[in-house]
Every structure is written in structure tokens, then in C-alpha cells.
Structure 1
Amino acid sequence: MKLSDYAINELIPYITGDNKTTVYKKGSELTKLFNSYGFRDIYDFNKGGLPKLSDNKNGMNTSRSDYTKDRLTKLSGKYELQNLLEDIINTAENTEKCAEEINSIISPENYNIEKINGKYTILGSKISKNQEIKNDARFINIQSDIIKELDNAQVSISLAMAWFTNKTLLKKLKEKQEQGIKVEIVIFDDGVNAKHGVNLEGFDFVKVRAERGGIMHNKFCVIDNQTVITGSYNWSDNAEYKNDENISIQADPKQATKYSVKFRELKSQTKK
């Protein structure tokens, strides 16, 4: 998730709690917050409190707002920024108001906040009332079509896949994650994935069983909460090179939101 300098400046009081919607955070609490998203900062009261910033040439102690701006800027372009903002919203004293206000800051930059299963989540681009709905069926060269759609991802990729053994598609997901796209994966917890499945280390993923005792047989991918890829096609070499398969590529934000909700339900069954 990448934000402009303007948006980052506007978000600072929501992180520090210097407003009426989020919890006020002392310097030590801010370091603890940012450390949970990858930093290794130490709050040392005897050395001025917050860490000195690289551009601090006046020798003064780092302020809470300057520290927050620096860390938000460093997170911009990474999916951890999205996770942090969702955490801030969902722990706010007034979650609805906080979500509304932060949405007004990030929506001009093609992000949108929605409430899914009781929690606020940052999704892809805003839904345009005049947006053209597209639904395209594909039967051959499916892998290349999936890669083209993944290349268009700007915010998030949510994948629910029964069997995932295709290393080419795995490589593309890694590439998108390195670009700061939030990638989440749910796969079926069975022997095929255990023995032949791709290595998902480094991804936010879970393995699940079917709730009704059968197979977690879903095969869909939601991109930016705008586009859904679904059909018979597993992300496997057999599906690409041996089987007769199909997918449909649905550019339909309302449909994508339904799949996003289902993805959250599947992920809630977590078994890593």
C-alpha cells in the first residue's frame, strides 16, 4: 500500500491519537506499535525518548509526530502499512467515525474502507457507479491470463485455492508482494498440498479443511476488490498443461466484494 506525502501527513494524528477518534499513544507506545510492523526501535527515556531521525541536525529530541511521519513513510509501499491502518481503525474509540475520516484521506488515492464481518478492511479502488461490468470466459493459456490480471493488482490479492502447485504463479505473487501489494492465501489442508504444494513461507497464508467434512474446493482470486478470477482451474501444472479447464474473469466490484467476504470467512477457519 503506497500513499502520498499528503496522505501520510493527514494520517499522523490518527496514529498518535492526537484527535478525538483514536487512542492517545505515548512515545513508548508508538515504538511498540511500529515495532509490531517490522521496526526495531528502542524508546530510551535517558537518551531523549524516541530514536533520533537521520535528518535531525538540530540535536533536539524527536517529536511523536515526526517519528510517526518517518515510520509511515518507510512503510509506504509495503502491505504492513495497510495492516497498521486497519489496526488503528479497529481499535479506535469511535471505529465508525475513524473509518469514515481515514477513508476520506485515502480514497482519492484509490483505496476504500469497508466493514466486513464486523471489522473494517482496506480494499481496492473506489467503486464507480458508472463502472462497466465485464465477464470473460477463458479456456486455453489460462496461466498467462491470470498473470496479466495479477500484474494489474495495485492494492491486494486474496487467493482461495484448493490445490496450489504452480511455481510460475507463485513467482508472480512474490513479485507483487515485493511491490507492496497485500497478498493473502487460503489453501486446502491435505496431502497433495503438503507433498507437492508450493512453498508459501513469507506469505500471509492459512490451511483449512472444509466446514461440512468434504474438500475446501474453492478456486478463486480477488484482485483489489474489483476483479474476480474463478472457475475449474486449480493453480497447478496439471490444470495448465493436461486438463480441460476454464476460468471466468469478472470485472465486477459488487461481485468481488461477495468473494472478499467469503475469503474472510475461509481465512477465519485458520490452521497454519
Structure 2
Amino acid sequence: MKISNLSIGSLIAVVLGDENTPSYRGGPKIVELFNLVGFNEEYWDLSKKGLFGARKDFTKRKLEEINGTNKLVFLIELLVDDRQTQKSDEVAKKLNNILKHDKYHLIKNKEGIYKLSGFNLPEDAMVRPVFELIEKEIIGHILASKYAVWVAVAWITSKPIATALYRQHQKGVNIRIIVNDDEITNSKGIAFENTQIEYYKIQQQNGAFNNLMHHKFCIIDFKKVITGSFNWTIKASFNNENITVIEQKEQAEKFADEFIKLIKDFQRS
């Protein structure tokens, strides 16, 4: 999906929301919104490095980055998701006034969910944010896998998740895991090296992998991606975290390409 620069300019205001109303999004909420469509960034880390700046400028950069990709579809549908806003009809009206110039339109289906329609849209994708019982959700997707589960996260200390991964490994499912090689992994992490699971520990001090901790994704059967702020640790279950489950082959393949790149770069280091 690709929209004009004029439409991007108008879309910025919808993302930012109106000041002094529930629709208003401050910096952390804006970063969280973009994380729900596949980014893995932290507001305070971005601010510390001078990478966030003004809300409007950051939002414009992100919209320009995802323009022409499926992520823009996901974002627009999230903006009218009734789990994100109490005024989905009002937001949909605003968005339709913008998107009509690019021949796109939000239509409410029989379940009362707004879906985007229009010219040359990518394959339909199911995008579902999850804010509660996240560990249970992840385990359910792992146990439902038939062919492959590829994981790239900072740490895995959750025994229930590790048990689910090992169970699928025993069934012949291709399990591949990338984590940080650091004190947390070495003192509290699950010892996957004692199994036959393909397992990589990558040191953060290696220049190519300084930001590995921001990789938090899992690919299921090359058609589903789990991503978001949730690390696969015991502690994460007690934090205010989220994941997004994206079911679409094209998106899953892009994450798989990134996973393979991480391994290739590691093997060359």
C-alpha cells in the first residue's frame, strides 16, 4: 500500500491524536504503536540517543519508512481497532477523508471490524495485538507449529516456553534460536546447548550485534510472526508488555530473511 506525501502529512495528525483528549499519543505511546506493526524500539533508548526528537517528525519518518509496505495497512487498521480507540467510527471517517485521494477506503465488516480495501492491496493479513497472558499465547503458537519455529530474542529464561520448544523439537519441528551471549543468558538462560536444538549466542560487544536485544520475534511455519516488547523471560510476565501476532506469509518471509542474515553475520564474525 502506497499513499501520497500529502496523505502522509494528514495521517500524522491522526496518529498523534488531539491534545487533552484520550486520542492523544505521547512519545512512548507513538513508539508502542509502531512496535505493534513490526518495529522493536524503546522510547527512552531512542530519546537518550537523540533519535526520537519531536513527535511529529518521528511519526513522519516512520510513516515514510512503512509507506509502500504491508505495515502501513496494519497501522491504519490498528488506528480504528476498538481495542485501541473508543471512537473507531470517528477515526475511520477521518482516515477515509484522507485515503480516498489514494483510492483506499476503510469498510466495517459483519463482525464490526474495519478492514482496508482499495487498489493493489497486499495479501490479507491477520494482525492481533496481545496485552494479557502473553506467555500462554506464545506457548500456544509454538505447540501449534508443524514445520518450523525460529526465535530471535534477547533472553529465554521461561521454562514453560523452553519446554514447549523442546517438545516440538522432539516431534521433528525445525527449532532455531538466537539469544544474547551475556550474563543473563549465561546465569539464568535455558541451556539449549545441552540439546540438539540449533542455538546461537551472540555477544553484544560485537559491533554488528550491538542492538540484538531489540530483536524480539518468532517465526512460525513461515506464515506467522510474533513480535513486540515481550522478552521470553520469567520477569517479562510481570511487566507491562505486549506482542503482536501477524499472520501473513510475506511478512513471515521478511522476518525469516532477517533471521538468516543474523546467523550469516555471526558466522562471519
Q: How far, CA to CA, are the matches of 1:138 and 1:148 in structure 2?
A: 13
In structure 1, the residue matched to 2:169 is: 177
In structure 2, the residue matched to 1:208 is: 202
Q: How far, CA to CA, are the matches of 1:214 and 1:245 in structure 2?
A: 22
CA displacement at 1:216 relative to structure 2: 1.3
In structure 2, the residue matched to 1:220 is: 217
Any stretches of 5+ residues in structure 2 without a counterpart?
1-121
8 Å CA contact 1:233, 1:245 repeated in 2: yes
8 Å CA contact 2:230, 2:243 repeated in 1: yes
1:4-153 alignment, distance < 5 Å: 132-153=124-145
In structure 1, the residue matched to 2:230 is: 233
Aligned pair 1:265/2:261, yes or no?
yes
In structure 2, the residue matched to 1:254 is: 250
Q: How far, CA to CA, are the matches of 1:134 and 1:213 in structure 2?
A: 31
8 Å CA contact 2:202, 2:209 repeated in 1: no
After superposition, the Cα gap between the structure-2 partners of 1:261 and 1:189, relative to the gap in structure 1 and judged at 3 Å, is: same
Q: Report the identity percentage.
A: 27
In structure 2, the residue matched to 1:156 is: 148
Give CA-to-partner distance per residue, 1:63-97, whole Å, 9 cap, x none.
xxxxxxxxxxxxxxxxxxxxxxxxxxxxxxxxxxx
Q: How far, CA to CA, are the matches of 1:270 and 1:136 in structure 2?
A: 34
| TM-score of the superposed pair, with normalisation by structure 1 | 0.50
In structure 2, the residue matched to 1:20 is: none
**Alignment-mate amino acid for residue 264 of structure 1:** I
Q: How far, CA to CA, are the matches of 2:209 and 2:186 in structure 1?
A: 19
Any stretches of 5+ residues in structure 1 without a counterpart?
1-129
More helix by share: 2
| TM-score of the superposed pair, with normalisation by structure 2 | 0.50
Q: SS of the residue aligned with 1:244?
A: coil
CA RMSD of aligned residues (A): 2.0
**Alignment-mate amino acid for residue 128 of structure 2:** D
* Matched length: 142
In structure 1, the residue matched to 2:70 is: none
